[in-house]
Structure 1
């Protein structure tokens, strides 16, 4: 893992989307790993550790932050 590589944006988001990179597919900040790849791994029964083993540019903290942000967004929608 590259030291000094950003793992979050100023607003705390660990997701970044840039039309100039991967056609705007949302990726983990500081990587070219699509968020959908994590979702696919988890949906397929893989663990976070398996995902991280295969995508070492993503940090554990990023995965946990994404899962927390996604959970909060889903719960907020359910309440609204």
Structure 2
């Protein structure tokens, strides 16, 4: 899955926040869920418009970018 299938940013969607592609769900919400101790399954239950593939893809992409820094 490439980046455009995982996340997008558009000034006309959620004021330009980074969101999961095809949704209005900011990736920040995933981070908040994980920081609160929630599982990925809990996040996906709360936001069914986000796919598991997008969620895992975002986490893998973030880890890859952090390791490259």
For the aligned pair, the TM-score class normalised by the smaller chain equals over 0.9
Gaps of 5+ in 2: none
Work out the CA distance in 2 between the residues paired with 1:43 and 1:16. Answer: 22
- The structure having more radius of gyration, on CA atoms, is 1
2:60 to 68, 73, 76: 68
Query: Matches of residues 21-32 of structure 1 in structure 2 within 5 Å?
Result: 21-32=13-24
TM-score scaled to structure 2, two decimals? Answer: 0.94
How many residues are aligned here?
A: 67
Structure 1: gaps spanning 5 or more residues:
1-7
Match of 1:3 in 2: none
Q: Which has the higher helix share?
A: 2
Measured on the aligned residues, the alpha-carbon RMSD in Å equals 0.8
Query: 29, 33, 50: which is aligned to 1:37?
Result: 29
